[in-house]
Amino acid sequence: MSKIKPSKGAPYARILGVGGYRPTRVVPNEVILETIDSSDEWIRSRSGIQTRHWANDEETVAAMSIEASGKAIADAGISAEQIGGVIVSTVSHFKQTPAVATEIADKLGTDKAAAFDISAGCAGFGYGLTLAKGMIVEGSAEYVLVIGVERLSDLTDLEDRATAFLFGDGAGAVVVGPSAEPAIGPTVWGSEGDKSETIKQTVAWDEYDSTKDKFPAITQEGQAVFRWAVFEMAKVAQQALDAAGISPSDLDVFIPHQANERIIDSMVKTLKLPEHVTVARDVRTTGNTSAASIPLAMERLLATGEAKSGDTALVIGFGAGLVYAATVVTLP
């Protein structure tokens, strides 16, 4: 018989607050067209993207995260000292160690919160949310900060016609805390490593030679990624609805990873979402911000009134790996 005492966590967890930060520089498609042979109409028709935000030297991964986190903490109505965990999802923090989460936790003023980074690409926010939920229910933290942040402009090849227009920078954060009722559903997540070559870094850091190589960038096989996202991720989204015990008609909001508006439209059609469901389309003005895209889209929907507190939302992220994560949440 085990002598270990049972955990004394909350019965459930919920998102209590959300915050976002978009860099001050807005980059229209015309700037992208200076380095690739394309057109504004082509970019919009293929992706829906009109503008994106690019960070300046001061808008670091840590700085953007701190700005977004401060808003999320204020929105949750708690203090930084109450945060027991800081989880940061990013692929664009270039120091292997220490984790940028530790710097963020310190500068926010947490009381020695557990802090770590995860690398799960565009599904990273969903991964972090699931880990935060587990920490709260298990009892190792009362409040957990989950951050998705990217400076993908640092990893963009502006001469690559397939990807130059896709990526943007920004940070989104949520505070996850205790709940008396279910407010974050079961997560449907996984990976398909046999397809990992479809989205990848062009040159590994240990192979990069600055005298002959372009700085490492993100590249992808566009059609293969599109087909996978449209056909396979709609199935995952439906599995998340089933796991939560709801149907598409029960949804108020759909917040998919903001990769491409054509993918979003296809998923809406495949899932047969009713007209009343609000669909996030932040990709139009923010671009693909990978791990930051879902919390940024969530923050904008709430700020504009397109979504409201208490709404039931389906969130799904998918990307490099290939990895994915989907769940149903109650909006803060």
Phi and psi based region of residue 120 (left: phi greater than 0; alpha: psi -120 to 50; beta: remaining) = alpha
Cis before 295 (ω within 30): no
DSSP state of 231: I
DSSP state of 230: I
Give the DSSP H/E element, type plus range, for residue 15. strand 12-21
> For the stretch 251-286, what's the b/e string if a residue is b when 16 or more beta carbons lie within 10 angstroms of its beta carbon?
bbbbbbbbbbbebbebbbeebebeeebbbbbbbebb
Tokens of 258: 């903001």
Alpha-carbon span 105 to 51, nearest angstrom: 31
Residues recognised as catalytic: 122, 257, 288
Q: What are phi and psi of 16, to 5 degrees?
A: -105, -25
Alpha-carbon span 212 to 214, nearest angstrom: 7
Alpha-carbon span 288 to 166, nearest angstrom: 6
* Residues forming a β-bridge with 201: 218
String of DSSP letters for 276-292: TSEE--THHHH-B-GGG
Cβ partners under 8 Å of residue 58, min gap 6: none
